[in-house]
Structure 1
Amino acid sequence: MNQSIEQIEETIKESSLWEKITDFLNLHYDFSKDISISIRDVIVIITVIFITTLLLKLVLKIITRNLPAENKGKFNVVYGYFRWLIYLVILLITLNSLGVNVTAVFAASAALMIGIGLALQTLFQDIISGVFILIDQTVHVGDIIELEGKVGRVEEIKLRTTRATTIDNKVLIIPNHLYLTTSLYNWTQNGTSTRESVSVGVAYGSDVQLVKKLLLEAAKKQKDVLKFPEPTVLFTNFGDSSLDFKVAFTINDSFNARIPQSEIRFEIDRLFRKHNITIPFPQRDVHIFNPKE
């Protein structure tokens, strides 16, 4: 009997303690007539933020695991900005799910984000494109790229812009959003060697086999031309005023391709003069018809 009374008293004490804990968790703090938050809500918010932080760290680790050390630093800067935006969105969603009236906050946030988005649209596009470049690793420092007809060697990749140096040693600043809207040619993604060519036309009636021999000789004499793969000659077309040929060859430094191309043209001119091969200029035959004759 005494044991039963003790159990009842213990149950009453536990029930009383639980009621006190429940009452404490249900304490509300009114920030305004529409926003009221309890201790329980605060604990839920802290738990959600903690879980969100763990997930963001996991996502960051997965995304940056293959990035070079210098690119990780750049990506972490962007991550720092977007992390607070994610926290804000998660906080508002959590408060709304807990029954807190955050309609006014949502409306103000939406209007603010629309205003900022319209004002900084291009900036955001550049930054997002910069993040994609860092993650995809489509462009590296030292690559030779061609964008909108402009060719340059990449010197630095930033979050908003890419800095490249042209063949004429001029600095080319490329907004990163152009990578998403324009076709990009990466000349050196498959290696430093590239296939270049020089085109030339010869007069009709020329010995085409001799022309082929001379073109190969001109290419092979240039020191920057690789021996393998060997230069080749293509008979490309029967032109209006000439037989058109192209000699193709491989070099290691495509950024300075115009130098070996120029030397090969000099040699072609010399060899053609030596062997009486004529490079014609455009010609037209005009026939005058007089109906009175």
Structure 2
Amino acid sequence: MTQELKKIESSIWENVIEFFNYNIYTFTDNANNITSVIKVKNLLGVIAILILTTYLLRWIRKLVTRSMPNDDKAKFTTVFSFARWIVYIIVLLIVLSSLGINVTAVFAASAALLIGVGLALQTLFQDIISGIFILVDQTVHVGDIIEIEGKVGRVEEIKLRTTRATTVDNKVLIIPNHLYLENSLYNWTQNGTSTRESVSVGVAYGSDVRLVEKLLIEAANSHAQVIDKKATVVRFLDFGDSSLNFKVVFTLNDSFNARIPESDIRFEIDRLFRENNISIPFPQRDIHIIQKPN
């Protein structure tokens, strides 16, 4: 009975050893005549080290962010999540090399695949790098109102690859982060929430320009959302083809919804102009007909 148990134990150990030594995959570098073999025991060793690396990175993240403010902690965590994958790749290469696997042969065998993947992920890498720049430089924050490629939105979330913003029409705007490197970005609220807005209008030639100035200031300052009434000014822009062109400039505390008070001010301008006989002209052309004698 004892001999049979020993035979069974020996058979089990042989099977276990055979399992650990089982070849999963073989890389062959024909140019250098090098063959690298990945066995089960190699794979299990790599998994164990990656798990250990994961716990170590978590401990480092908690240690570094322990005394950070909540805003900085969230930004650091986002950047750290990207850096973690770089650490995983480096650890993986080191482990494979220490286990006797020729990493050069692995890359040589996968060179075409890596080039194809690199080209396909080029834009993704640009987005991620841009996202890191945004988080580190703090050029854009959640809640900022930004304009890029003629689109305006309030930033709701900044991720490594994309920035999510909401337009004034409550539509979600997904902005790939690489666009920040390729286009001019306007941050409406970086210097504060108040912005200078304007409404332009033309009046007929012969109008009392000082009265026009007075009425435009009155129309703008009558709106409840216009702040700093003393800062409201009127600019005489130009002598147009059919009109004298003016612009009234005022201050709003909510530039994101500026088109609503701008519309209200236009209604008020039209009402005041009608009451004071100030006309808003339309384009006119004088046609002179010269009749040639027979």
Same fold (TM over 0.5): yes
Would you identify which runs of 4 or more consecutive aligned residues in structure 1 move more than 6 Å? 89-92
Out of 222-231 and 168-177, give the one that drifted further: 222-231
In structure 2, the partner of 1:12 is none
For 2:94 and 2:194, locate their aligned partners in 1 and report how far apart those are by CA, in whole Å: 50
Change (3 A) 1:159 1:275: same
Give me the identity figure in percent: 68
CA RMSD of aligned residues (A): 3.2
Counterpart AA for 1:146 = E
User: Post-superposition shift, 1:107?
Assistant: 3.0
Tell me the SS of whatever aligns to 1:235: strand
The answer to whether 1:188 aligns with 2:189 is: yes
Given that 1:35 and 1:102 are in contact with CA atoms closer than 8 Å, whether structure 2 keeps it comes out as no
Give me the whole-angstrom Cα distance separating, in 1, the residues matched to 2:165 and 2:198: 24
TM-score, normalised via structure 1 length: 0.72
**1:289 Cα deviation from its structure 2 partner:** 2.5
Partner residue, 1:3: none
Structure 2: gaps of 5 or more residues? 1-26, 37-52
Aligned residues: 239
8 Å CA contact 1:141, 1:154 repeated in 2: yes
2:6 — aligned with what?
A: none
What are the within-5 Å matches in structure 2 for residues 195-234 of structure 1? Answer: 195-227=196-228, 230-234=231-235
**1:257 alignment counterpart:** 258
Give the corresponding residue for 1:68.
72
Deviation (angstroms), 1:90: 7.2
Note if contact 1:229-1:250 (Cα within 8 Å) is conserved in structure 2: no
Q: Which runs of 5+ in 1 are unaligned?
A: 1-30, 37-49
* Matched residue, 1:78: 82
Task: Give the C-alpha shift of residue 101 in structure 1.
Answer: 7.4
* Counterpart code for 1:80: R
Report the secondary structure of 1:68's partner residue. Answer: helix
Partner SS, residue 219 of structure 1:
helix
TM-score (normalised: structure 2)? 0.72
Query: What amino acid is the match of 2:180?
Result: Y
Change (3 A) 1:91 1:148: same
The offset of 1:225, in angstroms, is 0.7
Cα distance per residue 1:183-202 (max 9 Å; x no partner): 11110011100000000000
Matched ranges for 1:148-167 at <5 A: 148-167=149-168
- Give the secondary structure class of the aligned counterpart of 2:226: coil
CA distance in 2, matches of 1:267, 1:84: 64
- C-alpha displacement of 1:113: 3.1
Three-state SS of the structure 1 residue aligned to 2:283 is coil
Letter in structure 2 aligned against 1:239: G
Report if aligned partners of 2:34, 2:105 keep a CA contact under 8 Å in 1: no
Deviation at 1:290, TM superposition (A): 2.8
